Chains A and B, each alone.
Chain A
Amino acid sequence: MIEVKNIQKKFGDKVVIENVSAQMKPGQCNLIIGASGSGKTVLMKCMVGLLTPDQGEICYQGENFFSMRQEQHTAIRKEIGMLFQGSALFDSLSVEQNIMFPLDMFTKDTSAQKLKRVNEVLERVSLKDVNHKFPAELSGGMKKRVALARAVVLNPKYLFCDEPNSGLDPQTSLVIDKLIKDLTVEFNITTVVNTHDMNSVMETGDYILYMYQGKKEWEGTRQDIIFSNNKLLNDFIFASEFLKDAKDMRMLEQTGKMPNFRNMDDMIKP
């Protein structure tokens, strides 16, 4: 479990994260959602210790990351897999070498075992015949998937994904969401995902933290979202008429009534 306690982060005078707290449990997908620039990436980087917050604590299994000794940091980091927003693949290494890197660095496996594991994860992110390509030869979405493969290759205990499906087509996007979800459940991973993809929110969001201009505006599950009256959240999640309709339909399905009579006229008419 990861606990975020009253995190604040400023860049110069600009407050980017203001007093955010959250609890991210293992075995579930914890989503951080919010508009572009609302501080999702900064919050995630604070959580993994790439940025040091000005105030607050990040606790892994109850221990504050920022008051640990260096060795404990390293120990925790070895259990973290992270997918960066910009993929961050090593561009001097091929796809295979990229994914093998953590194995090379931290395991004593034989080359055959490592290669087997690499092909296994590549298959899970539905990539084929790319082993010997270099990152510069891949499309953005392929890079994302290779980076995800690299993040999970060591079976991490904590998985951080910064926009895993931005730049992917809807179908691959669903595959990736499902993969993240499956891994999370299968290996009881504490997964934290930054996203503004509504599909992912509705499919995978066991816990959702909605950030608005650096503050926690709302939190809850994907069920709660449908019944939420928070205006900012509703405007953000159900931005289009299409999505508003979808929300109302879900509500109708679950409770037998609609919250408002937005489209009732159209429906009643023959």
Chain B
Amino acid sequence: MSLLSDIGRFMLMLKGMFKRPEKASMYWKELMRQCMEIGFGSLGIVAIISVFIGAVSTIQTAYQLVSPLVPLTTIAQIVRDTVILEFAPTLVCIVLAGVAGSRIASELGNMRVSEQIDALEIMGVNTKTYLILPKIAAAMLMIPLLVIIAMALGIWGGRLAGTAAGIISPTIFDKGLADDFLPYNVFFALTKGYVFSFIISSVPAFYGYYVRGGALEIGRASTKAVVVSCILILFADYILSALLL
């Protein structure tokens, strides 16, 4: 019952978001601010994670492929495909749900609890449009870019680790990367990126915007927002894979 009413309120929130902005330049400024926070704010952690994930995939794939019949280029192919298909979009988005999602939920929650949202309402600002829309738009602009960066860095990390451990030489790795490359995989990963970035921004915005109570509830709301976003990401990952692959 409460799930259904939550879904209903979520839909109403999305609907309420599409109102005419009072002043375009203010919304543009807010969008840019959110792009900075979500995009650049998460760049460091995304870079670190992708490089290490790529490195670990190379070493573990090499460890599992012991047969001399399998050419070494296969390692590069496997690393490339797992990074592009799964690690870059899904893992990065799960981490972003924690980093950006909890930020969005606690920012809005704090604004709600300290009556800043009410203050905006009283001024005649449409708070759903002003506070939520730029966050979702910024997430959908920046997170797919982060996913692309993660792909590149993941593969680069794999190449680096392969060379450092003496498993595979850079030339063979590069040859493997080019073998049987399917551009569709990148398209699929970006589709996932868009869906996930919508989840990462809208779900925490919902929990933050509707917080009631005090500081304690803000903490609870942002934890809940992260948990729900992660579950929804994994669920959407499964559905998209079943549909599109």
Contact = CB atoms under 8 A, between A and B. Distances in A.
Interface residues on B, range: 10 to 19
Interface string B121-144: 111111000000000000000000
Interface residue SS majority, chain A: mixed
B116 A89 contact: yes
A88 B123 contact: no
Enumerate the 3 nearest inter-chain pairs by beta-carbon distance, A residue then B residue, closest first: A77-B124, A88-B115, A78-B124
Interface of A: 45, 48, 50, 74-75, 77-78, 80-82, 84, 86, 88-91, 101-102, 104-106
B115 A86 contact: yes
B122 A50 contact: yes
B124 A86 contact: no
Contact of B22 (A45, A84, A106): A106
A80 B23 contact: no
Contact of A86 (B23, B110, B114): B114
A80 B122 CA distance: 7
Contacts of A74: 124, 126
Interface in B95-127: 110-111, 114-116, 118-119, 121-126
B119 A82 contact: yes
16 contacts: A45-B118, A50-B118, A50-B121, A50-B122, A74-B124, A80-B122, A81-B122, A84-B115, A84-B119, A91-B116, A101-B123, A105-B26, A105-B123, A105-B125, A106-B22, A106-B23
B118 A78 contact: no
Contacts of B110: 91
B124 A106 contact: yes
A75 B22 CA distance: 12
Given A48-B122, A50-B122, A77-B121, A105 B116 contact: no
B122 A82 contact: yes
A264 B236 CA distance: 83
Contact of B114 (A45, A91, A105): A91
A102 B23 contact: no
B226 to A, nearest CB: 21
Given A101-B123, A105-B123, 5 more contacts: A86-B114, A88-B116, A88-B119, A90-B119, A104-B23
